[in-house]
A and B are shown apart, each in its own frame.
Chain A
Amino acid sequence: MRKFIIYVLSIIIPVFGGMALINFLVDPGHIYSNSYIEEVVEGSRKGLCVTNVGNMDERLFKKRLIEVNKGKEFDYLVIGSSRAMTISEDCLTGSSLLNLGVSGSKLEDMIALYQLCKENEVSFKNVIIGTDPTLFNANDNDNRWKSIGIYYYDYYGTEDNDSESDFQRTLIQNLFSPSYFKSAVKAIPDVLAGNTQIEYVRTYINNGGTKRPDGSIYYAKEYRETPQELVDANAMTCCHTSFLRFDSVSEKRKNIYIEFVETLHKNGANIIIWCCPYHPLFYKRAVEMKGFPPAINFLSDYAQERGFKIIGSFNPDDLGLSNKDFYDGLHVKKETVDNILKSSL
């Protein structure tokens, strides 16, 4: 028996110990060190673009972005998912903009970021709310918002009992996470070659992914130039994975959305709802999801009833877009976004 236990431990300890060590040292998501986010924020502080940006907790980055912009007033504030993250100052002439979009944004993210703006006296005249139908998906339980969850609870004046412990747990779990390990192993050659260093640059058009001083993003060259066949193939089939069993609309989420938008409006912000179009092939499948049409209907009914401006349309045909206007199934090319917004704002 002793021999057996020694045998088992002699395999398990080096494998799991080595995995934890690599995860911690390579840290592909930069979750064990705060300095990475600080370096990226430093670019915004200096009014420069930051390129070659790797993975990091975007919520914490946006939190720091708000903090460095403390007391400032913007003409436009953008909140929403990655589908709103390409909205930049280029869309507006002579107006200032702060983009607080985060990947896979939930209502909780929007609320927490708004609360952060309030606490840091960041004010705005107009708010562009990137509203995706998935915000109302009853089956979507993504909890990435928890890294800024404390501000979400602050908004409601309730005590946050789990965000911090959840965050700590995630850090420990990631030490032993096979998927984090996979990313770490992939990142080793770049880390060793020093290719993961960020750079401060003046222009946003670079080979690497770029964060602009206004918080918006510009995709890496490789992504921007994905062959059209691959873009279409991806768009055709990524609907099921992107929409996580979107078979019903959550009444609770609808009510949270209404309450939040009304609060923004009551506090003097002009509401603009951004309906970012989907790739035509993606849209064709999305409308077949049970929850998708009711979510769209709710949004247009609500905006119409309250007189809020809607820009864009989820249906690419409404805007005369073709497959070529997209980077993938979900994301519209920057130039197309600029054109849509310029003609509407």
Chain B
Amino acid sequence: MLFNSLEFLLFLPIVFILYWFVFRERKWQNLLVVVASYVFYGWWDWRFLLLITLTSLCSFGSGLLLDYFKGQRRKQQAVSAANIVLNLGILCVFKYYNFFVENLDALFDMMGYHMDWVTMNVILPVGISFYTFQALSYTIDVYQKKLPATHDIVEFFAYISFFPQLVAGPIERATNLLPQFQQNRRFDYSSAVDGLRQMLWGFLKKLVVADNCAMVVNEHWNDYADLPGLTLFLLGILFSFQIYCDFSGYSDIAIGCARLFGFNLMRNFNVPYFSRSIPEFWRRWHISLTTWFRDYIYFPLGGSRCEKWKIIRNIFIVWGISGLWHGANWTFICWGLFHATLLAIYNLFNINTKHKNIVAFGRYIPNSKELFQMGFTFFLAVIGWIIFRAATMPQAIDYIESMFTNKFFDSSYVYGKLYLFYCLLLLGIEWLQRDKQHALQWHLTVIEDKKRVQYCIDFIVLLLIITLGNFQGNQFIYFQF
């Protein structure tokens, strides 16, 4: 079920009413969350439920076994290793099998051997990478004693399948989300209203900016050979906003929706396009995934507390895997490696840990240095997104080459000017609100009739969504990952 669908518009109030008015006890509420989440997920294809059930059962079982083998390190190692292999195995079969087979086939062909590999005709279950990583985080955290294993299967299933963040994150850690299923929830008016506002902002980003930009990008992307360089760059910018508003919009809706049910999810985006360097960009973009890779892969590999060459190696390993996580295509791997290269350069110059605070803190306008840094970081991000968006690597290279070799400008070929204006407007609002959780969190201290003004803002935002939004029911980009 898509957030931007009529079904969800009916589904959400029904679940909300049942959750707060009918199933008032925690255990029943957890059960309702599981049932609602399975309906939400099964709406795409009921067969997907088999896979998520299997993943949940395996991880729940491994938690119980880890508890059972308390004090027996070797057995615990074996259990967690088996669970990791199983979960990653499922992910690999469904997501990467054909990719590896096709590439091996090409490799053997190049060497003069012809192999008859069998490819599979399977559909990729939406959000499989998200819930697999969430399940893995539980087993690893239990193994590392950061969290006791749960013995309540309902709350565990609710943790894995919690519908607001099931298909596109934020990828929650068991240490944050699972305890929330173990506590009683109380309805809090201000938190719910704030959640609703965050949802509204997410819908605005998705329907008004992302889907409108998508329309222009999809229509013109493949014509790169004939389009002027500036148009190609503008399309790259539009895609950068499309992917940002699509994915962060989803996260905002998910976080806001969870708050309606009394849950706090982690922040997933923190105004990434105001970053002054690529390392800062990655501290602000898809935070739940980057911190996942940091905690479960980068740190165990030695992180930054080792020799320089090992740090660089670790960066390339993590970003290669991160690229592959995004999809079974060389473009994603190259995109990951492109960012690895940039991060490695920043690391070599020891400037990777700079810029941890918000840009121009306490000021309305950034200084020229900050402006240049933000512009340059954004330019690098756009180049990365072009690689990410391309269907193949040759196409990505051709596209970037055409940006510099085609005629530079032709006024007839400037597409999506209006949507570019939306993007700038969005940036402006986010700039003003960059120290808040989301852009509709106004602290109207100077205005006396605060409630009425906030009501008007909410009203206007909803009206803007309806009048400017694109309602063709577009999928969220990150579902495919």
Contacts and interface: CB of A to CB of B under 8 A. Distances in A.
Interface of A: 1, 3-4, 7-8, 10-12, 14-15, 19, 177-179, 181-182, 185, 229-230, 232-233, 236-238, 240-241, 285
Nearest to A241: B219
13 contacts: A1-B189, A3-B189, A11-B458, A11-B459, A15-B459, A15-B466, A178-B469, A179-B471, A181-B467, A233-B412, A233-B413, A237-B220, A237-B415
A316 B316 CA distance: 52
B459 A178 contact: no
A185 B412 contact: no
Contacts of B466: 15, 19, 178, 181
B193 interface: yes
B6 to A, nearest CB: 9
A14 B463 CA distance: 10
A226 B60 CA distance: 65
A1 B20 contact: yes
A10 B455 CA distance: 9
Given A3-B189, A4-B192, A236-B226, A229 B412 contact: yes
A3 B415 CA distance: 45
Interface of B: 20, 187, 189, 192-193, 196, 218-220, 222-223, 226, 411-413, 415, 455, 458-459, 462-463, 466-469, 471
Given A178-B469, A229-B412, A237 B20 contact: no
A314 B187 CA distance: 64
Contact of B455 (A11, A179, A230, A236): A11
B412 A230 contact: yes
Contacts of B469: 178
Interface centre among B226, B412, B413 (most CB of A within 10 A): B412
A256 to B, nearest CB: 28
A127 to B, nearest CB: 35
B412 A15 contact: no
Nearest to B471: A178
A3 B188 CA distance: 11
Contacts of A181: 466-467
Contacts of B471: 177-179
Nearest to A230: B412
A218 to B, nearest CB: 26
A149 B91 CA distance: 46
A11 B471 CA distance: 20
A15 B463 contact: yes
Contacts of B468: 182
A11 B196 CA distance: 11
Contacts, number: 52
B219 A232 contact: no
Contact of A182 (B187, B226, B455, B467): B467
Contacts of A238: 219
A1 B186 CA distance: 10
Nearest to A234: B412
B189 A237 contact: no
Most buried by B among A177, A179, A185, A232: A179
A11 B462 contact: yes
A10 B468 CA distance: 21
Contacts of B192: 4
A4 B20 CA distance: 12
A237 B224 CA distance: 11
B459 A232 contact: no
A176 to B, nearest CB: 9
A10 B452 CA distance: 12
A8 B196 contact: yes
Given A4-B193, A8-B196, A19-B466, A240 B218 contact: yes
A7 B193 contact: yes
A182 B222 CA distance: 29
A229 B462 CA distance: 37
B237 to A, nearest CB: 18
A189 B458 CA distance: 26
Q: Sorted from nearest, which 5 A-B pairs have the closest CB atoms? A: A229-B412, A233-B412, A178-B466, A178-B471, A237-B220
Nearest to B466: A178
A241 B193 CA distance: 39
A19 B459 CA distance: 13
Contacts of A182: 467-468
A14 B459 contact: yes
Given A181-B466, A182-B468, 20 more contacts: A1-B187, A1-B189, A4-B192, A11-B455, A12-B462, A15-B463, A15-B466, A177-B471, A178-B466, A178-B469, A178-B471, A179-B471, A185-B467, A232-B412, A233-B413, A237-B220, A237-B223, A238-B219, A240-B219, A241-B219
A330 to B, nearest CB: 15
B60 to A, nearest CB: 33
Nearest to A7: B193
B218 to A, nearest CB: 7
A18 B189 CA distance: 27
Contacts of B458: 11
Contacts of A178: 466-467, 469, 471
Contacts of B226: 236
B77 to A, nearest CB: 48
Contacts of B412: 229-230, 232-233
Contacts of A7: 193, 455
Nearest to A181: B466
A147 to B, nearest CB: 21
A232 B223 CA distance: 13
A179 B468 CA distance: 9
Nearest to A8: B196
B206 to A, nearest CB: 13
A183 to B, nearest CB: 11
A341 to B, nearest CB: 31
A182 B412 CA distance: 26
A22 B218 CA distance: 32
A14 B455 CA distance: 12
